[in-house]
Structure 1
Amino acid sequence: MSRILLIEDHERLAGLICKGLAAAGVAVDVVSRVDAAWAAIQRLSYQAMILDRGLPDGDGLILLQRLRKAGLGLPCLVLTARDALHDRVEGLDAGADDYLPKPFAMDEMVARVRALLRRPIVLSALDPSYGDLTLRTDTGVLWCGDKSAPLSPAEMQMMVLFLRSGPDVVRRTALESAAWGLSEAVTPNALDVALHRIRRKLLVIGSKQKIVNVRGHGYALHEQDAPQ
């Protein structure tokens, strides 16, 4: 299932969008502020985002411009009540891929999101690497030299977070959010099972990186001697 980020502060509208996209097989994480959206994008790997302009902490285009300057080509649909020509041009110039004024038909919004999801994300900034590991987010395959291992969607999201964090500790709650979304409830041992699977795959591909438990804090990548 594809996962997108919705940045929308109107709670009822956000709920309707989530419902419409869920029926189309698209999972949605919802935030209502620019700063929360930036934090979510740093932690998780999304296939697209829907961005409102009038947010409590500023114009949504501020976030879009920041992403584009960072080299992040996340496909973006700007969703806003501003429908004047100069507003549409301003959004597209800021890096938006599409523009849909409110009010809108849900079927059209879903169709536009599907079109965004078909677009390849080609910027290399989306393929995180650390040590001897590189993750291809377009295929969900983890590489160490010429050896590779396919990852499940949850495992891929966790490895994105690990690789972007490097040796820094990643908290358990952050890993759960990365793997299963910001709001989805998970069973207590789901993370432990996923970590076990990733550790086995790291051994299979011969990586020097090991996921270690930093007691009382979380987990981190730690370099060790390569498996014999």
Structure 2
Amino acid sequence: MVPSVPAPAVSNRIALVEDHPRLASLVERGLGAAGIAVDTFATLEAAWHGLLRLPYALAIVDRGLPDGDGLTLIRRLRAADNQLPCLMLTAKDALHDRVAGLDAGADDYLPKPFAIEELTARVRALMRRPAEFRELHLIYHGLQILPELSCMRHQQEQISLAPAELQLIILMVRAAGQVVRRTALEAAAWGVSDAVTPNALDVALHRLRKKLAAIDAPLALINVRNLGFSLLPSDAAA
């Protein structure tokens, strides 16, 4: 039986499968500036296990990796009936290479070298494609999230967000009042690459509550005992 892979989540965290440290760092910085968090994996096997652990929004996959061709990972995903959007990165730009990538199940194809602006645009386009993804500028009960500016806004008030706070509020807003479990929140905020202390989530949510109050947002972050957290209109949470 083929192991199941989590379906894509409504977060801004993506998986990058790239073994070149300099290129990986460039992509991480470029997408991070657009409010998109990145977990980097240097091998196909590490990426597969990472994709089993977290429901990423998208995967960027290099073809030339130490343990094989990135197309193998995409085929493996599709064999598991997982439709995670996949963007191929490769130095191969021949027509038959592009066709091979698309036939393997890739959703888009970007040859190296590339401009980070083009990569960001393609990532955003793929993240908009599935029905479960909403617009990149999120609005919920008057609260607007602007990922590329790492901030949130209510009426005329605006406040900046730390990277973890940004990923948390994006996930909470997209949940639209539904309860989000602690594990999902931690995964969205820190992924698999960062060590997280036991109270890191509580600290980040405490800071988010203070920032929501600072801009007079009519929303409350509610702790639903033994389940998780939800973001509700203040009058409904009272």
Q: TM-score range by the shorter chain?
A: 0.5 to 0.7
Higher relative contact order structure (alpha carbons within 8 Å, sequence separation ≥ 6)? 2
Following superposition, the deviation at residue 119 of structure 1 comes to 1.2
What is the match of residue 190 of structure 2?
A: 180
SS at the partner of 2:38? strand
Q: Structure 1 pair 89/180, CA: closer, same or farther in 2 (3 Å)?
A: same
TM-score by length of structure 1 reads 0.63
Matching residue of 1:15: 25
Instruction: Percent identity, please.
Output: 60
Question: Size of the alignment, in residue pairs?
Answer: 165
Partner residue in 1 for 2:68 = 58
Q: Where does the alignment leave 5 or more consecutive residues of structure 1 unmatched?
A: 123-138, 142-147, 159-175, 203-228
- Cα distance, 1:121–1:157 mapped onto 2, change above 3 Å: farther
Cα distance in structure 1, aligned partners of 2:131 and 2:188: 19
Matched, 1:150 2:179: yes
**Secondary structure of the residue that 2:227 maps to in structure 1?**
helix
Deviations 1:6-52 (CA, angstroms, capped at 9, x unpaired) = 00000000000000000011000000111111101111011111000
- Residues 178, 118 of structure 1: alpha-carbon distance in 2 compared, 3 angstrom cutoff: closer
Match of 2:12 among 2, 22, 37: 2
> Where do 5+ consecutive residues of structure 2 fail to align?
1-10, 133-173, 206-222, 229-238
Deviation at 1:189, TM superposition (A): 1.8
CA-CA distance at 1:156 after TM superposition: 6.0
Alignment of 1:161-176 (within 5 A): none
**Cα displacement (A) at 1:188:** 3.6
Instruction: Decide which of 38, 41, 49 is 1:39's aligned counterpart.
Output: 49
For 1:23-172, list aligned pairs within 5 A: 23-120=33-130, 140=175, 149-151=178-180, 155=182, 157=184
- Secondary structure of the 1:200 match is coil
Shift of residue 186, structure 1, vs aligned partner: 3.1
TM-score by length of 2: 0.61
Which residue number corresponds to residue 200 of structure 1?
A: 226
* Matched residue SS, 2:83: coil
